[in-house]
Amino acid sequence: MTSDFPFLTRSEFGNCIEEFERAYGAVVDVEVRKSRGSHTYLSIHKPLFLGQNNDDAVDSDIEDVEDADPAHLDTVCPTLEYGRIEYHVVYSASWRVPVLYVRVHTNAGVEMDCTRVTDMLVTDSKVRGAMDAVEFGGALGIQDHPELNEPFMYLHPCHTATLLRAVAPARGVEIDQRNYISSWLSLTGAAVGLFLPSIPH
């Protein structure tokens, strides 16, 4: 259990991400990392495939896959790995909840901007509408990663506590350190294309 659910202390956050790594380590590319400042955060990596969003039309005469816009390739090469998605779950001392940071690179090393990431990863129109409705420019913004001091996109944590507080009792789920991160990601991950697989119990 956490001492002040849905809020976490830094120590509780550390326990939560270790529990997540233990539970999902066999099915997700995940690891707990330590920053230069000795704080821990969770790193999840997954490949970005062109077939993740099939909303755009495509010309069948595209010859150079490396130079082509991925939005026009997803039906030509639906299983082609186009890049990598980095997700970092970082503790916010101000909000006392986890914050989801994301960065997407193509295989050519080009970092994608917020608009492109949203176009490729957020395919559900209801999720996209909810993200756009968040005050001050939407739910997905850009700021320096607090542990790495590098620019990342992030989901603003302003509604995290309210969301967790409302959803846990409604689903009849007790959220503790063993399932805090997986419960939170099941609510927020869709906003940046992060869906957790089922794990054997």
CA–CA distances in Å: residue 29 to residues 87, 100, 120, 196:
10, 16, 20, 11
Tell me the whole-structure pTM to 2 decimals: 0.80
DSSP 7: B
Q: How many CB atoms lie within 10 A of CB 190?
A: 18
**How confident is the model at residue 47, as a pLDDT?**
92
Each residue of 166-196: pLDDT tens digit? 887 777 778 999 999 999 999 889 888 899 9
Q: Is 20 helix (H, G, I), strand (E, B) or coil?
A: helix
193 CB-near residues (< 8 Å, 6+ apart):
52, 85, 120, 121, 122, 123
- Which tops the pLDDT comparison, 107 or 73? 107
Burial of 134 (0-12, 13-18, 19+ CB in 10 A): middle
Percentage of the chain exceeding pLDDT 90: 45
